[in-house]
Amino acid sequence: MTDEQNKLELVKIDGETHERTTLSTLNKKLTERGFGFYEFKDKYGQECSLQDSSLASEPAVWLGVDIDLKGDEIQNRMHLTQEQVKALLPILTYFAETGDYVRDFKEKT
């Protein structure tokens, strides 16, 4: 795969003008141990990542902020199981589709 094939752009498309604005670029890579991960920057330019977990008992991912303090990297990320991600997806999808805040999310019964 080329470097360009390893990049995924997060874009915003204006509904009236159809103008595309790149919000962030996700760079797909592999760890030294062969686990997949995406590096990207959040709204404020903070380095973040989404990475496969090596947890042997169940599928999981790491998601969050990567911080480098004077050469000592600190990873402040959530360790989420597949079930936890499934529970969060409806709320995140609601926000992604509507732009409405979490307080307005109504669980389907």
Q: Is the dihedral of CA 82, 85, 86, 87 positive or negative?
A: positive
CA distance 61 to 79: 6
pLDDT digits (tens, 9 = 90+) for 64-82: 998 777 777 666 889 999 9
User: 10 Å Cβ neighbour count for 8?
Assistant: 13
Q: What would the two tokens of residue 42 be?
A: 């959040």
- What are residue 26's DSSP bridge partners? 8
CA nearest to 28, candidates 8, 54, 46, 45: 8
pTM exceeds 0.85 for this model: no
pLDDT digits (tens, 9 = 90+) for 1-57: 455 667 777 777 777 888 887 777 889 999 999 999 999 988 888 889 999 999 999
Q: Report residue 72 CA to chain centroid gap.
A: 23
